[in-house]
Structure 1
Amino acid sequence: MPGSQTPQFTVPDLHIRSREGGYARGREGHETILRAALNLLVEQGYRAMSMRKVAAACGMKLGNLTYYFPTKEDLVRELLDAVITSYEIEFEAIIHEEGVSPEQRLEEICTLILEDIRTKKTTRVFPELWALSNHDPFVFDRVHELYARARAPLLGFIDEINPDLTPEQTEALALFISASMEGLTVFAGHDKPFEKRMPWLEKIAAKSFVQFVKSVTPDDFA
């Protein structure tokens, strides 16, 4: 069965940046809050992720929570930074692989993203943020910032593979690849109808994107 394939990549849920100074207990409290907030976002959605609920999930008073994060926006901003940083670390490892062609690295990074789509966190969190961004300017800005950071390695690989493209064409191609992969979330993500087909879709997508990047010309954008 296609769904029996063991994932090649695993992205941690969060990478929480080290904070300068402070006591160990303070750093632990900071991490506990972010993990509780992520769990609420995954299990109950953004609307349910109130400061009071996060505090309750951490077993602390609201006043203690606001010592770490004065507003929900502060909490969400740092939470999403911790989420995307975990991907950037994995991307960096692929970018700096020695003796691996840019075509192979592009295929690897596409495989990583598509495998991650099958996780509960990714299937639940990102579509919710997409929907919220239609009505919430703060979420809109955070989502577009997050995806700009996620597309950065694609820009580098495309430029290496096909240096004849202009920066604008390279950016459009990276956007197309990113959007094509993310669109599979609603069809083949966690508990979705075609989740078991995702290993096949990974192979199709990764190889297709590499061939497309190699073969596209500036004239194709005319």
Structure 2
Amino acid sequence: MASQDRKTLILDATEALLLEIGNAELTMRKVASRAGISLGNLQYHFSTREDLLLALLLRFLEPYEANLNRRAADGSADLTETLHSLFREVLTHPDFDRYSVIFKEIWAAATHSADIRAALDAYYVRLAAFYRSFLEGAGADALQAERAVLILLPLLEGSCVTRKAIGRPAEDLAAIWAEAFALILGQKG
């Protein structure tokens, strides 16, 4: 098996275990067993648990960020509908619930790992820049966009934890959030 295929196998096993048992119970031995390889082989590819989780985080973020970066706001479109479309896309993504669980487990790991925390911080800086640019492209000025991002990032990230407890369909949340942000941006009265 090629080295890249082996790494994919290992990361798939890690993801499955995070979903099943969570970060607190995740061990290198359990990952090796799930992947069907020896612990030594696992450590050849990922020398520490932190290296393994960091690689999983980066694999997780790449397609998400690539999808966001393909999206640009159209300043000629209605701001509320533009935001509604963006929020709907995020909240109704077919893997939203699975990604939420994995991301929560990685957040937990970040409390004990400076490298994972740094990778998350860098991701949030990029995400904030994307949303600022998106909002400015949708007609917000720089100050409005900055203020909206200060609310938007915690709202979206918090939805990973609270969405099921709120009990509202994703479509409803997308519409409510779009209207709220149009008000925040002073584009709806």
Q: TM-score range by the shorter chain?
A: 0.7 to 0.9
2: CA distance, partners of 1:64 / 1:170: 48
How far residue 101 of structure 1 moved from its aligned partner, in angstroms, is 4.1
Deviation track 1:53-95 (CA, whole Å, cap 9, x = no partner) reads 1111100001111111112222111111111111112112222
- Is 1:208 the counterpart of 2:185? The answer is no
Pairing of 1:184-195 with structure 2 (within 5 A): 184-188=159-163, 192-195=164-167
Equivalent residues of 2:90, 2:96 under 8 A apart = no
Match of 2:52 in 1: 75
- Is 1:174 the counterpart of 2:146? The answer is no
How far residue 170 of structure 1 moved from its aligned partner, in angstroms, is 3.5
Query: Which residue of 158, 169, 175 maps to 1:183?
Result: 158
Match of 1:3 in 2: none
Identity %: 27
- Is 1:149 the counterpart of 2:121? The answer is no
Number of residue equivalences? 187
Kindly provide the amino acid, as one letter, of the partner of residue 213 in structure 1.
L
Kindly provide the amino acid, as one letter, of the partner of residue 185 in structure 1.
C
**Which structure 1 segments of 5+ residues have no match?**
1-23, 217-222
**Which structure 2 segments of 5+ residues have no match?**
none
Deviation track 1:153-187 (CA, whole Å, cap 9, x = no partner) reads 21111223345434xx6334213112112223333
89 and 118 in structure 1: CA distance in 2 versus 1, 3 angstrom threshold: closer
2: CA distance, partners of 1:93 / 1:100: 18
Equivalent residues of 1:94, 1:105 under 8 A apart = no
Q: Which moved more, 1:136-145 or 1:100-109?
A: 100-109
2: CA distance, partners of 1:204 / 1:149: 25
Given the two structures, how large is their TM-score scaled by the length of structure 1?
0.69
RMSD over aligned CA atoms reads 3.0
25 and 132 in structure 1: CA distance in 2 versus 1, 3 angstrom threshold: closer
1: CA distance, partners of 2:8 / 2:78: 36
How far residue 118 of structure 1 moved from its aligned partner, in angstroms, is 7.3
197 and 98 in structure 1: CA distance in 2 versus 1, 3 angstrom threshold: closer
Q: Which moved more, 1:55-64 or 1:40-49?
A: 40-49
Deviation track 1:138-157 (CA, whole Å, cap 9, x = no partner) reads 44333323333333321111
Secondary structure, aligned partner of 2:24:
helix
Given the two structures, how large is their TM-score scaled by the length of structure 2?
0.80
Equivalent residues of 1:102, 1:157 under 8 A apart = no
86 and 100 in structure 1: CA distance in 2 versus 1, 3 angstrom threshold: farther
Equivalent residues of 1:115, 1:202 under 8 A apart = no
Equivalent residues of 1:46, 1:128 under 8 A apart = yes
